[in-house]
Amino acid sequence: MKPLPHVYETRLIGGPSGYAQLSAAGVAEMSTAPPADFDGPGDAWSPELLLMAAVETCFLFTLRAVAAASKVEFKSLDLGGAGTVNREGGVTRFTEIVLRPSVVAPAGSDREKILRVLEKSERACLISASLATPVRLEPAITIEA
């Protein structure tokens, strides 16, 4: 890792309605729009989906680092996530994020050690740690025969 602090710059171009274009140096531009739940078209990445995608990708990349440091092997991760938006205290916000990591590990793996690595990865994830919203894990671990 490069020394901290790190700075990430993005640019958003949009108008009073319709889609907006999100860009950053070195990556493909992306169309964004509100989800159908907020009267958007529902066919583009929304802020809500981008937040969930950020939590999920951060979890995977953190899991890779934590697993390597812990000498825990895994063959694959299939990660489903669900973020609930509700109104609390007069504010509409994410009230909970549930991550459902399904991990396949090689034969002879220690299920409890894998579970500890998953839990540590959730706690160490930069994105999850930056949110006030609680993140809950519902892991499934399959050890190959």
Angle between helical axes of 111-124 and 47-70 (0-180°, round to 10): 130
Q: Is 105 exposed, middle or buried (CB count within 10 Å of its CB: 0-12, 13-18, 19+)?
A: buried
Segment 66-95 shows an average pLDDT of 97
Topology given in CATH for the domain delimited by 47-143: GMP Synthetase; Chain A, domain 3 (3.30.300)
**Residue 138 CB coordination number (10 Å):** 11
Per residue in 9-40, pLDDT (tens digit) is 999 999 999 999 999 999 999 999 999 999 99
pLDDT over 90 (residue 132): yes
Per residue in 84-127, pLDDT (tens digit) is 999 999 999 999 999 999 999 999 999 999 999 999 999 999 99
Give dist(CA 35, CA 92) in Å, integer.
15
| Contact assessment for residue 105 and residue 144, using Cβ atoms and an 8 Å cutoff | yes
pLDDT at residue 1 in the model: 87
pLDDT at residue 39 in the model: 94
pLDDT at residue 90 in the model: 96
pLDDT at residue 69 in the model: 98
pLDDT at residue 3 in the model: 96
Residue ranges of domains in the chain: 1-44, 47-143
Per residue in 32-65, pLDDT (tens digit) is 999 999 999 999 999 999 999 999 999 999 999 9
